[in-house]
Amino acid sequence: MITVMIIMLVLGNDDNEEKEVEEEHEEEEQEEESRKRKCGRKRIRGWRKRKRRMWKNFSTSTHAQFIDAQQSSPVRVASFNIKQFGESKMSKPAVAENIVRILKRYDIVFVMETRDKDQKSLEQLKKLLGAAEWTFVASDPIGRTSSYKEQYVFFFRPHLLTLQDKAIIFQDDEDKFEREPIVAQFEYWSSFANAKVKVTFVGAHLDPDDVVNELNALPDVIATAESLFPTSSAVIVMGDFNSDCTYMNCEERAETALFSTPEVYTSLVPDKTDTTVSHNTDCAYDRVVITVHDRPKVKVTKVKAFNFEKELGLQLDEAQDISDHYPVEFILE
In tens, the pLDDT along 14-70 reads 444 333 434 443 443 343 333 344 444 433 333 333 323 333 332 333 333 344 444
The number of folded domains in the chain is 1
Residue at 201 is within a domain: yes
Sheet holding 75-85, edge to edge: 135-138, 151-156, 108-114, 75-85, 328-332, 300-305
* 288: CATH: 3.60.10.10
Residue at 172 is within a domain: yes
Give the global pTM.
0.80
> What is the extent of the structural domain holding 202?
75-332
279 is catalytic: no
User: Of 150, 180, 187, 309, which one is the catalytic site residue?
Assistant: 150
Distance in angstroms (rounded) separating the CA atoms of residues 286 and 328: 7
User: Of 113, 159, 178, 205, which one is the catalytic site residue?
Assistant: 205
150 is catalytic: yes
Residue at 214 is within a domain: yes
- Please say whether the beta carbons of 192 and 333 come within 8 A: yes
Residue at 219 is within a domain: yes
Residue at 84 is within a domain: yes
pLDDT tens-digit readout, 294-319: 667 899 999 999 999 999 999 999 99
- Please say whether the beta carbons of 330 and 90 come within 8 A: no
CB atoms within 10 A of CB 110: 28
Residue at 190 is within a domain: yes
